[in-house]
Amino acid sequence: MNREDIEKKLLEILIEEFEMEDPGLDDNLREVHGFDSIDAIELLGHIELILGYDLTQEEKKLAMDIKTINDICDYVLNIHEGRS
Statement: residue 19 has pLDDT above 90? yes
What is the pLDDT at residue 26?
Answer: 97
Taking the chain, what is the end-to-end CA distance rounded to the nearest angstrom?
Answer: 10
Which residue segments constitute the domains of the chain, with CATH numbers given? 3-83 (1.10.1200.10)
pLDDT at 63 over 90: yes
Return d(Cα 7, Cα 26) in angstroms, integer: 12
Per-residue model confidence as pLDDT tens digits over 33-51: 999 999 999 999 999 999 9
Residue pair 67/43 in contact by the 8 Å Cβ criterion:
no
The pLDDT value recorded for residue 68 is: 97
pLDDT of the residue at 83: 87
10-27 mean pLDDT: 96
Say if pTM beats, i.e. exceeds, 0.75: yes
